Structure 1
């Protein structure tokens, strides 16, 4: 499912271009085109985030605190590299997404498991944080277009939004799973249908592109988690029984293959970049 966000998300300035409110102006957009590759890798990164966090927490004996410190440090390094690039690079962008998926999961898990905060509360808090990020982003930049992530401030808002979606998706997904108890496979089908409904609403009913994109982005987190749990959990718990190691390795291999393919072909480079590069 691909969402075109360049038109409905931006408010043109004089001369027809979108004027950045603040930050260092870059020559290129810093995020990929939203194609089928984007959604596949996003779901795979989400799945890896779920299984990798469980693997290090339970099998490696690091505990939630230890895993959180390690993953946060790795994410900080990945984001420093991402911010220092001057254009979208698949080999830089997607590792940051994979790491932020783990950290977003751990934020929710720490609040729920270590601090005993109810899932209803964490879901509400993350939803409010999600809304605040977008309100401030739009107020400061006058655009929410992911085709104009070309200043440092816009990039900062973008990654804050991504982090909030993973935390919100984790809490909301766990809340739905706990309340409805559908099982891993049926949960995956439920969230997949919800994403399909968002896509239908966008393409057939004219639902705003920005909110269609970010709603689907939030929903891919519980979708990926359900798929990861279904594959990794024992058969007695409703899973396939592959285990966290095999599941994580399998999806990491697919992610690596797709990222290499995109890095070589440039199939996910935005049209804006392609025109300027021509």
Structure 2
């Protein structure tokens, strides 16, 4: 008999088309929102990181305390992770002078170390197992590392590699299509493919966000960061309401 009780469900969403649409919108908002606080408001990367980190930690604490998957709380936590990822990566790359290449390499190492520790500790990085405080702790730490890495990787591709915002968006979009194809037609583990896609949606959102709000002479559209952030936030709210939101099934 199929188990439909809450105990059979994880506290994170199932991987649907809507999940990925909202994820890309959230990562784009993370870029424009992070830049709004650190640049438009003039608070700087360090102060912006402290503010968004506090919001992120509070959201994670609320997420862990809840007994089931709550879409609004989940996506609020994801948005908080994208904004802190933006300011934290910019602080490391620019304020500390590590640079995009050094920052991306360092953050990739942190992400891989987190995933390795998670797997060694709990035996699986499958999102369906995210139902206990320990698993949730690893899950959100991995997400924060992936969001920060994605910001640095997007900046490196657009700036250091000289591809520009649209060129970088095309590259990350193309690689995501390859990951989607591998999901359907390759034997690669679902956990590996999920986290690969999760990481890659961040630089995609980052370069799209930069394309929207950067000055015209820097290859952007010079759209108001405030306006872009509000529009993206409304779009996320509409998508959460329109797309079916259900918890991921726990593996049996």
TM-score past 0.5 threshold: yes
1:270 corresponding residue in structure 2: 247
- Are the equivalent residues in 1 in contact too, given 2:13–2:248 (CA < 8 A)? no
1:261 aligns with 2:242: yes
1:105 corresponding residue in structure 2: 86
2:152 to 171, 178, 187: 171
Map of 1:1-278 to 2, 5 A cutoff? 28-261=9-242, 267-270=244-247, 272=249
Unaligned runs of 5+ in 1: 1-25, 274-278
Q: How many residue pairs were aligned?
A: 245
What's the CA shift for 1:27? Answer: 6.3
What's the CA shift for 1:252? Answer: 0.5
- Are the equivalent residues in 2 in contact too, given 1:234–1:243 (CA < 8 A)? no
- Matches of 1:123 and 1:113, distance apart in 2: 12
Deviations 1:96-154 (A, max 9, x none): 00001111122211111111112222212111111111111111111111012111100
2:3 corresponding residue in structure 1: none
What's the CA shift for 1:271? Answer: 5.8
TM-score (norm 1): 0.83
Unaligned runs of 5+ in 2: 1-6
2:4 corresponding residue in structure 1: none
- Matches of 1:226 and 1:174, distance apart in 2: 7
- Matches of 2:180 and 2:55, distance apart in 1: 33
- Are the equivalent residues in 2 in contact too, given 1:191–1:220 (CA < 8 A)? yes
- Matches of 1:142 and 1:64, distance apart in 2: 36
